[in-house]
């Protein structure tokens, strides 16, 4: 603080020095806000504590402050440049525009732990709801920068003459919601087309697939194709002795069973691949946090570039997690279809069949514990699935 006092002549009054400092702070804050408005990125979408720590725009200074009220802020680093100027710098490789990074000093962190209304309440705190790692408000900015990096951004359409002259005239018009779309390289379309070239073919996993996506045995075992329960197989076989359950089905039903089993296996490998990717992605977030701590706070550009990487990795972690969820739902639908197929010979109405087909998947058997309440034991100590139809009622299907 003493060096800054020496740089200002002593003949300048204290009120004039305070006014100069306030004007400088407001000028820098106005420039940052104009830059953010030009990029159409809301302030809430960017982590701006690194700039906020140097430019305090939330403070209100009196027009004529006293000498004790003046706070001397440290000068900006020599390598500090506004975000708009950093975008015009030549970048090596395919590096995109950097995000505004959050570089908070540890001593300035506020305690955000939720507190109760009073200390005399012995209520247990609410369990946190998992909402993902990626901040949704950063998606538009991250997508814009990723498009520029990949050079896949399309030019914005030119405004037509039919658009109203005044943007705020909503009497005879309604606002158009712009939907952000992620560009898809041609390689993904070619991959899907290749997989769809034959609806009945099944691509076996490669050696690398088995090596890279080799998950814990307990988890992998839960993804195996469930076997058909013996009482259900007995509905399709008069001898009660078959080598393979599929052999008791009709030819067309047998093909359907094999197709559903292949689809189940394909979804299982999709879950294995997404789970492995999510594991390594989440581990890399810890590596990035250690890397962030090793970079000096004065290197603002490095923190901004690292913020882009962190946001992209968080997005990938959530996307792979959701991929597991969607594949699991697809697998559950295939199990329900297999159950309905095997229940065709069961003499019961549609309501009972659907209730049994939609029961939870909880074992390595196709029906598992959901079948136990319906089974009866014969004289020969065999459990069978009895008919639930009256003799006068025809079979539904």
Closest of 174, 190, 135 to residue 313, by C-alpha: 135
Residue 156 lies in a domain: no
pLDDT of residue 160: 53
pLDDT given for residue 153 in this prediction? 72
CA pair distance 199, 215, nearest whole angstrom: 28
- Indicate whether 111 belongs to any domain: no
- Say if residue 3's pLDDT is above 60: no
Helix 139-150 to helix 300-342 angle, to the nearest 10 degrees? 100
* Region 306-317 average pLDDT: 97
Mean pLDDT of the chain: 77
Is residue 365 within 8 Å of residue 386, measured between CB atoms? no
Task: Supply the CATH number for residue 248's domain.
Answer: 1.10.287
- Biggest CA–CA distance in the chain, Å, is 113
Answering whether pTM is above 0.85, one says: no
- What is the model's pLDDT at position 240? 55
Q: Is 180 inside any structural domain?
A: no
- Is the distance from CB of 320 to CB of 278 less than 8 angstroms? yes
Q: Which of 376, 336, 386 is nearest to 356 (CA)?
A: 336
Instruction: Give residue 236's domain range.
Output: 133-145+215-389
Provide the Cα torsion 378, 384, 389, 391; round to 10°.
-40
pLDDT of residue 16: 76
Instruction: Tell me, yes or no, whether 68 lies in a domain.
Output: no
Tell me if 167 is assigned to some domain: no
Residue 342 has pLDDT above 60, yes or no: yes
In a domain, 339, yes or no: yes
Report pLDDT digits (tens) over 242-279.
678 888 899 999 999 999 999 999 999 999 999 999 99
Residue 1, pLDDT score:
46
> What value does the mean pLDDT take over residues 360-386?
92
145-199 residue pLDDT tens? 999 999 887 666 555 555 555 555 677 888 777 889 999 999 999 999 999 999 9
- What pLDDT is recorded for position 189? 96
Question: What total of structural domains would you count in the chain?
Answer: 1
Answer whether residue 83 shows pLDDT above 50.
Answer: no
pLDDT for residue 95: 38
State the pLDDT confidence band at 131, using cuts at 50, 70 and 90.
confident
Check pLDDT > 80 for residue 368. Answer: yes
**Mean pLDDT computed over 12-33:** 76
Strand 383-384 to 376-377 pairing: antiparallel
104-132: average pLDDT:
53
% of the chain residues with pLDDT over 70: 65
The pLDDT assigned to 96 comes to: 38
Question: The tokens 């195996």 sit on which residue?
Answer: 224
pLDDT recorded at residue 125: 64
Would you say residue 354 lies in a domain? yes
Alpha-carbon dihedral of residues 277, 280, 284, 285, nearest 10 degrees?
70
Whether residue 258 lies inside any domain: the answer is yes
Residue 71 has pLDDT above 60, yes or no: no
Q: How confident is the model at residue 365 (pLDDT cuts 50, 70, 90)?
A: very high
Are 242 and 233 spatial neighbours (Cβ–Cβ below 8 Å)? yes
Q: How far is the C-alpha of 290 from the C-alpha of 288, rounded, in Å?
A: 5
pLDDT for the residue numbered 301: 95
């Amino acid at each position: 603080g003493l060096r800054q006092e020496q740089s200002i002549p002593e003949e300048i009054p204290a009120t004039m020095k305070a006014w100069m400092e306030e004007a400088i702070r407001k000028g820098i804050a106005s420039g940052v806000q104009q830059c953010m408005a030009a990029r159409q990125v809301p302030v809430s979408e960017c982590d701006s504590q690194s700039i906020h720590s140097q430019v305090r725009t939330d403070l209100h200074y009196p027009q004529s402050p006293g000498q004790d009220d003046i706070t001397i802020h440290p000068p900006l680093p020599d390598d500090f440049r506004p975000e708009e100027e950093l975008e015009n710098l030549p970048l090596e490789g395919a590096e995109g525009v950097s995000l505004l990074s959050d570089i908070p000093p540890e001593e300035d962190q506020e305690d955000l732990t939720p507190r109760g209304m009073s200390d005399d309440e012995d209520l247990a705190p609410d369990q946190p709801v998992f909402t993902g790692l990626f901040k949704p408000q950063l998606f538009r900015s991250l997508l814009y920068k990723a498009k520029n990096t990949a050079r896949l951004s399309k030019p914005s359409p030119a405004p037509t003459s039919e658009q109203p002259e005044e943007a705020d005239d909503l009497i005879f018009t309604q606002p158009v919601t712009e939907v952000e779309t992620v560009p898809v390289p041609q390689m993904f379309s070619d991959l899907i087309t290749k997989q769809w070239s034959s609806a009945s073919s099944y691509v076996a996993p490669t050696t690398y697939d088995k090596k890279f996506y080799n998950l814990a045995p307990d988890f992998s075992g839960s993804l195996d194709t469930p076997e058909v329960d013996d009482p259900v197989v007995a509905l399709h076989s008069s001898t009660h002795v078959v080598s393979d359950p599929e052999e008791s089905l009709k030819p067309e039903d047998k093909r359907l069973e094999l197709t559903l089993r292949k689809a189940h296996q394909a979804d299982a490998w999709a879950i294995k691949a997404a789970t492995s990717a999510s594991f390594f992605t989440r581990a890399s977030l810890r590596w990035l946090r250690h890397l962030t701590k090793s970079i000096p706070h004065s290197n603002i550009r490095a923190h901004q570039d690292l913020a882009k990487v962190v946001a992209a990795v968080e997005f990938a972690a959530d996307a792979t997690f959701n991929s597991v969820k969607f594949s699991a739902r697809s697998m559950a639908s295939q199990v329900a279809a297999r159950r309905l197929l095997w229940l065709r010979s069961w003499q019961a109405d549609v309501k009972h069949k659907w209730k049994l087909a939609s029961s939870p998947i909880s074992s390595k058997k196709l029906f598992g514990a959901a079948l136990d309440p319906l089974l009866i034991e014969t004289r020969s100590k065999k459990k069978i699935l009895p008919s639930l139809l009256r003799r006068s009622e025809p079979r539904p299907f």
